[in-house]
Structure 1
Amino acid sequence: MNHDFYEDEPIFDLSRLQDRGSKKWVAMMLPEHVALLRQYSEEIKREPKPELDEWDYDAIQHTLDAAIKSKADTKIKRWKNGEFIYNRGTVESVNLLKREIELKDPFYLLSLKLDEIVDVTIME
């Protein structure tokens, strides 16, 4: 028996198979289960808050002082609600009573909480 014609054409073309992933299971789940699964996937994406020590806070303070004096373009990395947020602009002032800094970017003036800041970098 000659099966040469099967060698040229695959029987099943797996590249055309498209799996719907988790969509096919959602229809069989209760809305409460779907909500819990979505909440769980959001929690997995969260970043843990970095533990800063005295040296880190001292470095942040010195960099903020230099940024205010030089009016240099500064990048500030903040941690809020499980994610890192980056802001860039010039540091206008630091208010220790309110524990906030004012950062001016090209569009508006931001008030950022000092407790959220995890890193400050002067851009050159």
Structure 2
Amino acid sequence: MIRDRGTMKWTAMMLPEHVQLIREWKQEDFAEASRELTEWELEELQQTIDCAVCQHKIITLTVWEGSRYLQWTGTIASLNQGAQELILETITKMKHIPLAYIHAARLEDDGCD
């Protein structure tokens, strides 16, 4: 049986710059597309964030960063309306997240009382 190793066999003959360009090209090829939120989703997102701020609850945010969705979990330290960003305090650091990049929010416990 013939075992073809694909591009692995050619990388030894390529310059490091070419290998890096191929990796970037593959990442662009498999990148997700950001989607627009509906009015209902935006309203629910705002209510969830407001509840987390008022009651200091742990929240998980789904954020669009670098052509993919990432999840951050922590407590909201503050909302900066002027800069349109949210400051999330995670276990290890303070994360500044632009409000326009937040696509979903979920409270870790049951919900708002």
Q: TM-score, normalised by structure 1?
A: 0.73
Asked if 1:46 corresponds to 2:31, the answer is: yes
* Structure 2 residues without counterparts, runs of 5 or longer: none
Alpha carbon RMSD of aligned pairs, Å? 2.3
The corresponding residue for 2:88 is 103
Q: What count of residue pairs does the alignment treat as equivalent?
A: 109
Tell me the secondary structure at the aligned position of residue 97 of structure 2. Answer: strand
Q: One-letter code of the match for 2:34?
A: K
Measured at CA, do residues 33 and 114 of structure 1 come closer, stay the same or move farther in structure 2, by a change above 3 Å? same
Calculate the TM-score normalised by the size of structure 2. Answer: 0.80
Take 1:26 and 1:32, find their aligned partners in 2: how far apart are those partners? 11
Greater C-alpha radius of gyration: 1
Change (3 A) 1:88 1:31: closer
Pick the aligned partner of 1:93 from 78, 86, 89: 78
More helix by share: 1
Q: Which range moves more in the overlay, 78-87 or 25-34?
A: 25-34
Match of 1:78 among 63, 77, 96: 63
**Secondary structure class of the residue paired with 1:41:** helix
Cross-structure match for 1:114: 99
**Which runs of no fewer than 5 residues in structure 1 stay unpaired?**
1-13
| Matched-pair identity in % | 31
